Chain A
Amino acid sequence: ENVDPQKTAFLLRKAWTLYSVTPLYRFHRARLRDYARLLSAFIAAEKQKGLAVEVGVELDIKVAVSSLADLRGSEQDQAAVLVQLSLRSRASSRNSEDKLVWLGWFCSMYGDDLSENVPEDFTCLPLFLTHGAESYTSMVGSWFQKTFDCCFRRLAISPLNLSWMVAMWAGCKLDRAASAVELVFSMPRLSQPLDISYAIHPEDAKALWDTVQKTPGEITQEEVDVFMDCLYAHFHRHFKIHLSAAKLVKVSTVVASAHCDGIVKILHSQYLPGVLMLLTELAISQIQ
């Protein structure tokens, strides 16, 4: 669990789109360079076919596939796999760098529930996070699906799970000035969409969570319910609106933010493993 913050700094402060992935068949870590080459050829072929074309997008994509050795939870977890797509720079000068256009990584953080029950030849990396154009995501996903017989699905996050996240993350120790804890609700059954944003001072939120949580390190559904009920009651007292009847669509804390469409941003390297562990769990329950 000792993840070098320097190595994982590039994962922070990016909006990642989440997918669950079923186990990969016959994925060999020794062949990462080969996979990069094959994926590169696949992308070039797709572009030739005229699929997934964006106006002005260059044809020359360089693919790099690498292993992030430290990014795993338990002994049974596979180390994370990173896929990077860059535009090969046209200029011949050595100063010009390839421009990174798309990032995707497979990860398993304490995904033992899945990896324990899977036959040999299968590699479990149930969480897939992407950053960049959807057209690239779709090409990379297609290649992986064809090559390793796996299945990708967008990972949606239910309001119930979002409330777990906000309770957990609002309770995290703050070592410096923190941003507000924000919850965004979408009001149902209106002719025009209406969102309500409820922002709470992070110290107040943490103080509330501290009175609710009984055992440090453990969280129960009852505790999350009490925490949320306090927030709902407070809001109702002031505005006479029952937020509990609305749909919680986004939560934001200093640790991370998450949207129900399956988009997360991790802001604090200290809590990276914790957030990934939660997301891995969600991915696994979507697969099973």
Chain B
Amino acid sequence: HLATSLPLPSERDHFRPRIDLIVFMIDIKSKYSLKNVEASLAYVDASFFLGKVCFLVTGVGRVNACSIDMNAVCKLGETYCSPVLFCELELEGIRVATAQRLLRMLQICAGHIPGVSALSFVSLMRKSDDD
């Protein structure tokens, strides 16, 4: 399911299946996309931040068109305890690999992989000097 921003329209709430993973897409060329994501995060229930949220930064192949501060994006990942993935959608190989990665994450979040749950992502996010 694709949405340009959150919250999702409430009229369709009872039709909506369970949400297992939320991928926030940030376009490196658009400051607006980062602002949109930051605003949408406020509408996400806290329970999602236990491994069911990830940030996908697109357009990283064109560093010269960069309109956003990468430190801000990494800080976003740290603040919300969620992984930040980078990809370039214009390159087919990377696009396919990224899609496969997301699919794998989704399978874990939906509980389809025995022995691994979304909480595993959270423990991977913790820095080694936290311990």
Contacts and interface: CB of A to CB of B under 8 A. Distances in A.
Interface SS majority for chain A: helix
B38 to A, nearest CB: 11
A14 B131 CA distance: 57
Contacts, number: 41
B68 to A, nearest CB: 7
Interface stretch (A113-121, A141-149, A242-250): A242-250
Contacts of A156: 64
A49 to B, nearest CB: 33
A245 B66 CA distance: 12
A245 B34 CA distance: 10
A61 B69 CA distance: 46
A188 interface: yes
Interface residues of A, number: 18
Given A221-B71, A244-B30, A159 B35 contact: no
A85 interface: no
A250 B85 CA distance: 30
Interface in A216-250: 221, 225, 228-229, 232, 242, 244-245, 247-248
A260 interface: yes
B33 A245 contact: yes
A158 interface: yes
A248 B67 contact: yes
A157 B31 CA distance: 16
Nearest to A160: B66
B64 A245 contact: no
Nearest to A221: B69
A158 B32 contact: no
Interface footprint category on B: 10 to 19
Nearest to A161: B66
Interface of B is mostly: helix
Contact of A244 (B35, B64, B72): B35
B129 to A, nearest CB: 25
Contact of A221 (B32, B63, B66, B72): B72
Among A156, A158, A247, A248, max chain B CB count under 10 A is at A158
Contacts of B32: 242, 244-245
Nearest to A261: B64
Contacts of A225: 69, 72
A159 B69 CA distance: 10
B64 A260 contact: yes
B65 interface: yes
Given A242-B32, A244-B32, A245-B33, A158 B67 contact: yes
A233 to B, nearest CB: 10
Given A247-B29, A248-B67, 15 more contacts: A158-B64, A158-B65, A158-B66, A159-B67, A188-B30, A221-B71, A225-B72, A229-B35, A232-B31, A242-B32, A244-B30, A244-B32, A244-B35, A245-B32, A247-B65
12 contacts: A158-B67, A159-B29, A160-B66, A188-B29, A188-B30, A221-B72, A232-B31, A244-B31, A245-B31, A247-B65, A247-B67, A248-B67
Interface of A: 156-160, 163, 188, 221, 225, 228-229, 232, 242, 244-245, 247-248, 260
